Amino acid sequence: MFVCLGNICRSPLAEAIFKRQVADLDLSDKIKCDSSGTSNYHIGEDPDHRTVTNALKNGLRLDHKGQQFKVEHFALYDYIIAMDQSNLEDILLLQEAHRAYEFGLMKMRQFDNLGKGSDVPDPYFGGPQGFQHVFEILDRCNKHFLDYLIKKHALIQ
C-alpha cells in the first residue's frame, strides 16, 4: 500500500509505476498493490490532472480513485510505503490509536540510491517540473523496492 497525503499525486503514481514494473517481470499474480492518502481531502476523485498529464508523457495511464488510508489496511498489506515523514508519522499514530496489527512500514526513499531516506517531495503546490521529478524518484525507488521483494520472498527462481 503506497500512502501520501491526498492520494491524487504521489501515491497513485507510485502504484501505477509499480504495477507496470511488476507486470514487466510477469509477477502480477504474486504482487498486488494499491494506494491511499492519510487525509480525506480527495476521496473518490481522479488523480490530479498534472499527475495524469505527466504520467501519460511517460507512457503510463492512471486508473485510480482517491481513498483514505484506514485501520483495516494494516491487516491487508504486507508493506505500507509512506511517501514522506509526515505520512509515516500519521500512519504510526493510527496504528498506536488502534493497537493495530504489526506491519512493514517503510519510507519510499529508503529504496533510493540518490537521496536515501529523504521525503518524496509533494508536487501539489509547485510547477510542472516537480511532477517529472517525482516520477523519476518513484520509478527509481520502485525498481529497488521490487528487487528487494524478489530477493526477500524468492519470487523469481
Which active-site residues does the annotation give?
A: 4, 10, 122
- Name the residue type at position 6: G
Of 24, 32, 40, 41, the one binding ligand 4NP (CB under 6 A) is 41
Is residue 80 involved in binding ligand 4NP (CB under 6 A)? no
CB nearer ligand 4NP, residue 8 or residue 146: 8
**Cβ proximity of 30 and 52 under 8 Å:** no
Burial readout 98-119 (b: 16 or more C-beta within 10 A, e: otherwise) = eeeeebebebbbebbeeeeeeb
Of 124, 139, 140, 143, the one binding ligand 4NP (CB under 6 A) is 124
CA 87 → CA 21, 37, 38, 90, distances in Å?
24, 8, 7, 5
Which residue number is nearest to ligand 4NP in terms of Cβ? 6
Site string for ligand 4NP, 5-24 (x = CB under 6 A): xxxxxx--------------
Of 15, 112, 119, 122, the one binding ligand 4NP (CB under 6 A) is 122
- Tell me how far, at minimum, the Cβ of 3 lies from ligand 4NP, in Å: 9
Q: At what angle do helices 128-152 and 10-24 cross, to 10 degrees?
A: 50
The CA angle 49-51-55, to the nearest 5 degrees, is: 115
Instruction: Give the number of residues in contact with ligand 4NP, rule: CB under 6 A.
Output: 11
- Tell me how far, at minimum, the Cβ of 153 lies from ligand 4NP, in Å: 28
Total Cβ atoms within 10 A of residue 81: 30
User: What are the residues binding ligand 4NP (CB under 6 A)?
Assistant: 4-10, 37, 41, 122, 124
